[in-house]
């Protein structure tokens, strides 16, 4: 039975019944349910005084932290809805999101708000005086399940991202469903996803709606080592991973699988081989394939993966949390079992449509006879005789790269704004592989010779990094199909993602080798170059080669960091890696880490020797030595 409650109401109930139970921790700050509820209520009162109430949009630009959880809950208690913003997005993108969502006030960290160029009168710095003091009591509104809770932006085929309006009731149903992912008061769920990504809806509110604890991963972009360390130190029992990250960790048989009880994986088709390997090594693990678009509030269907499922494509399972799933043919009649049709989602979990986009909302959200409001997912599926659903790809060009949903038309639209680009097609090469690359194929305007690197840099000023192609091909013409449409399949298949030079009708802008002036690499640069070669699938010969310009991205960076720490035995952070992403820069980083590790070892050895020489109270001396 779906819950009629909202998440804030459920949290208030836990705060009253088990005030001292752990609600949120990031390893430094610890909040019990009562502390969380009190902090949120105070901030909600401050927000109320700033005019936030029902129907008002509040931006959130904040590092992952306990503060962020308090802030999000406070906006809901004040009656408003949250528009999460990603600090990594370019300024113009953040400004567009704020304008599109009608955000009047943005809450966040001081430095991030300043970086985004947001003026003081439209921001509220979290943690500053005034946000955590007891304000004059003020009645807070009661928010019902139909009210909008969140606006999440997702790639839009017309070149503008679309804001999906997610209702409170949808979130409450998702996280309290008896047929959903089990979360009870003793569980700890890791919050490591970006708040702009709908996985975070589950990571935050599933624990808090069920009296469990949220363990906040403090790293901005955790490496797999940091993720594993978080999972261990917090004793995480329930974890959500994007399919791409799961495949990466599965290939390494991450120790994470030995700690968590339940692992929900979603975003792309799940690889049977990786699933089988993990289930063989960790047979007690509850591995769940979660399917669902943002428009259906995170997970629409779930499937508990059994080794027997791994002989072919892993099913996406059955509807969960009050969602209803229909597989319809082109005439909108139910497709018979075993026949592929389009997947429609109905029920209270369906979003309220797209913000300010009535035509697009009318196109995707329809009233179906005998069903009610339903969302047309664009996904193809077939129902097995036992009711379990199998995924069969997309009806349109939408793609997934590293879990990010991308409408290639959005990127093409941005490319066509450049005067030197006459035609553009964006495809993914190497679908489903770790090196899958968003690839831009451009035809230059007459008399121009656009450089891939320049186009990439200019695109990065406007689009979030996942929408910026990492591979480029400059072509004389785009190949066409027999019916005169751009032959996307030919483009996707023509140039191997391993950096070959072949392309449909012209030269590829990225060659077979990562070039630059030929300078001999130092031994440590050679180690870095080899790790890059394994990740990028092409030769790396220059110390000045830039990882991002050469097709690297955050998941491949994690791959390299994992490789290097395995080879050399020092831990690197992704932030440090990405701060100077050249071969020489990373070699320097490694050298520094090695020197630091040696210095620590030498200091420890000296302290041990000193303690041995003194012979007195060895334990105390050791402890001091370790402190130094
Ligand atoms: P999320 O990535 O959180 O699932 P998005 O709205 O970004 O949500 O992307 C939704 C799309 O991702 C779906 O419409 C579908 O094409 C694809 N997808 C999501 N989960 C799965 C899955 N388990 N198997 C296959 N495809 C999936």
Q: What would the pLDDT profile of 100-156 be if each residue is shown by its tens digit?
A: 999 999 999 999 999 999 988 899 999 876 666 666 667 788 889 999 999 999 998
Is the Cβ–Cβ distance between 524 and 591 less than 8 Å? yes
| pLDDT exceeds cutoff 60 at 56 | yes
pLDDT digits (tens, 9 = 90+) for 136-150: 667 788 889 999 999
| pLDDT exceeds cutoff 60 at 390 | yes
| Torsion region of 181: left, alpha or beta (phi above 0 gives left; psi -120 to 50 gives alpha) | beta
The region of weakest confidence among 79-83, 294-298, 560-564 is 560-564
Mean pLDDT of the chain: 88
Spacing, Cα 385 to ligand 1 middle (Å): 23
pLDDT on residue 99: 94
Q: Ligand 1: does its nearest atom lie under 6 Å from the Cβ of 403?
A: yes
Q: Ligand 1: does its nearest atom lie under 6 Å from the Cβ of 163?
A: no
Give the phi and the psi of residue 460 in degrees, each rounded to 5: -65, -20
Spacing, Cα 403 to ligand 1 middle (Å): 8
Hey, what long-range contacts does 275-278 have (CB within 8 A, 24 or more apart)? 275/250, 275/305, 275/309, 275/310, 275/314, 276/307, 276/310, 277/250, 277/253, 278/250, 278/253
pLDDT on residue 427: 94
Contacts of 115 (CB under 8 A, 6+ apart): 87, 91
Spacing, Cα 582 to ligand 1 middle (Å): 33
Output the six-digit token pair for 119: 């003026």
Output the six-digit token pair for 501: 């030079």
Say whether 16 sits in a helix, a strand or coil: helix
Which atom of ligand 1 lies closest to the CA of 316?
23
What pTM value is reported for the model?
0.86
Spacing, Cα 299 to ligand 1 middle (Å): 9
Q: Ligand 1: does its nearest atom lie under 6 Å from the Cβ of 379?
A: yes
Q: Ligand 1: does its nearest atom lie under 6 Å from the Cβ of 267?
A: yes
Q: Ligand 1: does its nearest atom lie under 6 Å from the Cβ of 266?
A: yes
pLDDT on residue 78: 96
Determine the residue of 164, 289, 291, 395 to mutate for testing ligand 1's pocket, defined as the one with the most ligand atoms within 8 A of the Cβ atom. Answer: 291
Spacing, Cα 290 to ligand 1 middle (Å): 8
Spacing, Cα 271 to ligand 1 middle (Å): 14
Spacing, Cα 332 to ligand 1 middle (Å): 22
The region of weakest confidence among 63-72, 131-140, 244-253 is 131-140
User: Higher confidence at residue 496 or residue 121?
Assistant: 121
Q: Ligand 1: does its nearest atom lie under 6 Å from the Cβ of 292?
A: yes
Query: Which residue has the least CA distance to atom 2 on ligand 1?
Result: 267
The domain defined by 399-494 folds into GMP Synthetase; Chain A, domain 3 (3.30.300)
pLDDT digits (tens, 9 = 90+) for 443-474: 999 999 999 889 999 999 999 988 999 889 99
Query: Which residue has the least CA distance to atom 23 on ligand 1?
Result: 291
| pLDDT exceeds cutoff 60 at 428 | yes
Mean pLDDT, rounded, for 541-553: 83
Of 220-229, 285-294, 481-490, give the range with the top mean pLDDT. Answer: 285-294
Mean pLDDT, rounded, for 159-185: 94
- CA 425, distance to chain mean position in Å, is 25
Say whether 262 sits in a helix, a strand or coil: strand
Q: Ligand 1: does its nearest atom lie under 6 Å from the Cβ of 269?
A: yes
Mean pLDDT, rounded, for 3-32: 93
Give the phi and the psi of residue 553 in degrees, each rounded to 5: -150, 180
Spacing, Cα 22 to ligand 1 middle (Å): 32
Is the Cβ–Cβ distance between 218 and 29 less than 8 Å? no
Spacing, Cα 195 to ligand 1 middle (Å): 17
Contacts of 279 (CB under 8 A, 6+ apart): 285, 287, 305, 306, 307, 310
Label residue 205 exposed, middle or buried (CB < 10 Å: 0-12, 13-18, 19+): buried
Q: Ligand 1: does its nearest atom lie under 6 Å from the Cβ of 60?
A: no
The domain defined by 1-171 folds into Rossmann fold (3.40.50)
Mean pLDDT, rounded, for 171-181: 94
Q: Ligand 1: does its nearest atom lie under 6 Å from the Cβ of 294?
A: yes
Label residue 434 exposed, middle or buried (CB < 10 Å: 0-12, 13-18, 19+): middle
| CA-closest candidate to residue 374, choices 346, 412, 407, 348 | 346
pLDDT on residue 109: 95
- CA 543, distance to chain mean position in Å, is 31
* Homologous superfamily in CATH for domain 516-628: ACP-like (1.10.1200.10)
Query: Which residue has the least CA distance to atom 19 on ligand 1?
Result: 267
Determine the residue of 196, 293, 404 to mutate for testing ligand 1's pocket, defined as the one with the most ligand atoms within 8 A of the Cβ atom. Answer: 293
Spacing, Cα 202 to ligand 1 middle (Å): 14
Spacing, Cα 442 to ligand 1 middle (Å): 28
Which atom of ligand 1 lies closest to the CA of 290?
23
Tell me the domain boundaries of the chain. Answer: 1-171, 399-494, 516-628
Is the Cβ–Cβ distance between 401 and 427 less than 8 Å? no
Query: Which residue has the least CA distance to atom 14 on ligand 1?
Result: 293
Mean pLDDT, rounded, for 365-390: 97
Determine the residue of 156, 157, 268 to mutate for testing ligand 1's pocket, defined as the one with the most ligand atoms within 8 A of the Cβ atom. Answer: 268
| pLDDT exceeds cutoff 70 at 485 | yes
**Residue recorded with tokens 């936030």:** 52
Q: How many helices (H) and strands (E) does the chain have?
A: 19, 27
Spacing, Cα 561 to ligand 1 middle (Å): 27
Q: Ligand 1: does its nearest atom lie under 6 Å from the Cβ of 268?
A: yes
CA 194/CA 488 separation, integer angstroms: 31
CA 292/CA 294 separation, integer angstroms: 7
CA 32/CA 42 separation, integer angstroms: 15
What does each C-alpha distance from 382 to 214, 273, 310, 420, 611 come to in angstroms?
36, 21, 17, 44, 70
Spacing, Cα 563 to ligand 1 middle (Å): 29
pLDDT digits (tens, 9 = 90+) for 517-544: 456 888 888 888 888 888 887 788 888 8
pLDDT on residue 129: 64
Query: Which residue has the least CA distance to atom 9 on ligand 1?
Result: 293
Which atom of ligand 1 lies closest to the CA of 289?
23
């Amino acid at each position: 039975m779906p819950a009629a409650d909202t998440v804030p109401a459920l949290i208030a109930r836990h705060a009253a019944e088990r005030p001292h139970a752990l609600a949120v921790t990031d390893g430094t700050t610890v909040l019990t349910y009562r502390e969380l509820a009190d902090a949120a209520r105070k901030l909600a009162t401050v927000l109320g005084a700033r005019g936030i109430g029902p129907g008002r949009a509040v931006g959130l630009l904040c590092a992952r932290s306990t503060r962020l959880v308090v802030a999000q809950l406070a906006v809901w208690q004040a009656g408003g809805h949250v528009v999460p913003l990603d600090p990594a997005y370019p300024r113009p993108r953040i400004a567009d999101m704020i304008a599109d969502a009608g955000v009047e006030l943005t809450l966040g960290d001081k430095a991030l708000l300043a970086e985004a160029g947001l003026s003081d009168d439209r921001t509220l710095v979290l943690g500053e005086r005034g946000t955590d003091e007891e304000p004059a009591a003020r009645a807070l509104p009661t928010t019902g399940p139909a009210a909008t809770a969140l606006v999440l932006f997702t790639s839009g085929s017309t070149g503008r991202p679309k804001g999906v309006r997610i209702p409170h009731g949808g979130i409450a149903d998702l996280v309290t469903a008896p047929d959903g992912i089990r979360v009870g008061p003793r569980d700890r769920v890791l919050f490591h996803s970006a708040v702009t990504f709908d996985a975070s809806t589950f990571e935050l509110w599933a624990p808090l709606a069920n009296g469990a604890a949220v363990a906040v991963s403090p790293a901005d972009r955790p490496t797999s080592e940091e993720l594993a360390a978080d999972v261990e130190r917090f004793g995480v029992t329930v974890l959500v991973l994007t399919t791409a990250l799961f495949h990466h960790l599965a290939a390494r048989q991450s120790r994470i699988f030995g700690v968590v009880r339940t692992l929900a994986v979603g975003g792309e088709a799940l690889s049977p081989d990786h699933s089988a390997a993990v289930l063989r090594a960790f047979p007690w693990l509850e591995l769940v394939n979660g399917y669902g678009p943002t428009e259906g509030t995170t997970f629409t269907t779930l499937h508990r993966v059994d080794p027997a499922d791994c002989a072919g494509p892993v099913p996406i399972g059955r509807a969960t949390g009050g969602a209803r799933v229909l597989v319809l043919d082109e005439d909108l009649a139910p497709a018979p079992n075993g026949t592929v049709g389009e997947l429609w989602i109905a029920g209270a979990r369906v979003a309220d449509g797209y913000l300010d986009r009535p035509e697009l909302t009318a196109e995707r959200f329809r009233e179906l006879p005998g069903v009610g409001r339903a969302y047309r997912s664009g996904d193809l599926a077939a129902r097995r005789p036992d009711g379990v659903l199998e995924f069969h790809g997309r009806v349109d060009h939408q793609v997934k790269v590293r879990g990010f949903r991308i409408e290639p038309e959005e990127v093409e639209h941005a490319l066509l704004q450049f005067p030197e680009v006459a035609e553009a097609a964006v495809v993914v090469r190497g679908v489903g592989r770790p090196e899958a690359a968003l690839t831009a194929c451009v035809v230059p305007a007459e008399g121009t010779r656009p450089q891939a690197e320049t186009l990439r840099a200019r695109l990065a000023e406007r689009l979030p990094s996942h929408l910026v192609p990492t591979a480029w091909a400059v072509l004389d013409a785009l190949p066409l199909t027999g019916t005169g449409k751009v032959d996307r399949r030919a483009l996707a298949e023509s140039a191997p993602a391993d950096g070959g030079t072949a392309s449909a009708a012209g030269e590829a802008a990225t060659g077979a080798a990562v070039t630059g002036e030929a300078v001999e690499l130092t031994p440590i640069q050679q180690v870095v170059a080899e790790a890059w070669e394994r990740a990028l699938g092409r030769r790396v010969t220059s110390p000045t080669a830039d990882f991002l310009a050469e097709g690297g991205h955050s998941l491949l960076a994690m791959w390299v960091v994992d490789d290097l720490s395995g080879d050399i035995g020092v831990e690197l952070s992704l932030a440090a890696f990405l701060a100077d992403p050249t071969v020489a820069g990373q070699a320097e980083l490694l050298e520094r880490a090695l020197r630091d590790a040696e210095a620590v070892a030498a200091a420890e050895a000296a302290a041990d020797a000193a303690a041995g020489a003194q012979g007195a109270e060895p334990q105390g001396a050791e402890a001091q030595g370790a402190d130094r």
